[in-house]
Amino acid sequence: MKRISLKNIKLGYKSKRNQTNVVSKNLNVEFIGGKINVIIGESGCGKTTILRAISGLISPLEGSVYFDDVDVTKYDPSNRGLSYVSQMIGLYSNLSVFNNIAFPLKVSHTPSDEIRERVQEVAEMLKIEHLLSRKPRELSIGQAQRVALARAIIKRSIVYLLDEPFSNLDKKTSIELIQELKQLFSRLNATVIFVSHDVGEALSFADQVYAMHEGDIIFSGTPEQILLETDERITRLLKN
């Protein structure tokens, strides 16, 4: 189980004029280990920036990132034991769908028979088994997104970071996937941090919800608790 904590975090980016654009000034938040943690918030509030800091793709300007009680702030992304599905799908154009999905297992020298079995399992879950021989250029955006999700799931990581992974899928497919992924992550006892702009989707997926506003977490609680909130910033989010 990996409890993920951000302590006294300041996040930001350098502009073209080398000025620092601050996203979060003093962020303190703890994501529950072994649960599905969902961040909701308006566009530009810093949701994706949090995922990038946890993954190690960006470094905090100040503060620390902890996995359980281990400070991983300076760890390379490859040493954090996580899978990350970003908004940029990023499939390998020269590889088939099968080999895109299998890539993490091949890198870790997993036996060929196990690779075939696990690729088939995750492809059936995501309803893309008929696409395994195709190349990324032959896929729709929704199909490519499912392949990217399959490549992350197949690693069986301890931590999963999901940045709007259902944004290009139809509502029926999203609902089906949410139920299947909830069961999978429960079996894996995985810690999931999921970013979504779709509040209904978020509340149906979440064990714990975090509402974000202008770089800060203004609420954390269960889906039932957030529905009872009267804070104007939160009620506005729930209406969108």
User: Is the pLDDT score of 151 beyond 90?
Assistant: yes
Asked if residue 63 lies in contact with residue 8, where contact means CB atoms within 8 angstroms, the answer is yes
Range of lowest pLDDT (36-45, 59-68, 73-82, 177-186): 177-186
CATH number of the domain where residue 238 is located: 3.40.50.300
pLDDT at residue 1 in the model: 65
Q: Tell me the HSE value of 160 on the side-chain side, using a 13 A CA sphere.
A: 31
Across the chain, mean pLDDT equals 90
Same domain, 205 and 127: no
Domain final residue, candidates 115, 133, 156: 156
Number of domains in the chain: 2
Q: How far is CA 93 from CA 15, 103, 144, 224, in A?
A: 31, 13, 11, 43
User: Is the pLDDT score of 9 beyond 90?
Assistant: yes
Region 4-20: mean pLDDT is 84
Region 224-235: mean pLDDT is 90
Same domain, 49 and 60: yes
pLDDT at residue 206 in the model: 94
Tokens representing residue 154 in the block: 């197949």
Region 125-129: mean pLDDT is 89
Same domain, 120 and 164: no
Same domain, 194 and 219: yes
pLDDT at residue 10 in the model: 94
Asked if residue 180 lies in contact with residue 74, where contact means CB atoms within 8 angstroms, the answer is no
Same domain, 182 and 64: yes
User: Is the pLDDT score of 176 beyond 70?
Assistant: yes
Can you spell out the DSSP letters for 78-122? GGS-EEEE-SS----TTS-HHHHHHHHHHHTT--HHHHHHHHHHH
pLDDT at residue 44 in the model: 86
Same domain, 168 and 234: yes
Same domain, 112 and 231: no
| Domain boundaries, position 22 | 1-81+158-240
Query: Tens of pLDDT along 152-165?
Result: 989 888 899 999 88
Domain final residue, candidates 137, 156, 175: 156
Report residue 218's pLDDT band, with 50, 70 and 90 as the boundaries.
Answer: very high
Same domain, 61 and 102: no
Same domain, 112 and 67: no
140 or 115, higher pLDDT:
115
Region 213-224: mean pLDDT is 94
pLDDT at residue 202 in the model: 86
User: Is the pLDDT score of 97 beyond 90?
Assistant: yes
97-107 and 141-153 helices, crossing angle to 10°: 20
Predicted TM-score (pTM) of this structure: 0.88
> According to DSSP H, which parts of the chain are helical?
47-55, 97-107, 112-125, 141-153, 171-188, 199-205, 223-227, 232-239
pLDDT at residue 87 in the model: 73
Domain final residue, candidates 110, 127, 156: 156
Asked if residue 62 lies in contact with residue 36, where contact means CB atoms within 8 angstroms, the answer is no
Same domain, 51 and 140: no
Same domain, 5 and 115: no
The Cα 235–Cα 231 span in angstroms is 6
Residue type, 35: K
Closest by CA position to 55, among listed 65, 45, 44: 65
Region 120-140: mean pLDDT is 93
Region 131-137: mean pLDDT is 96
Same domain, 213 and 105: no
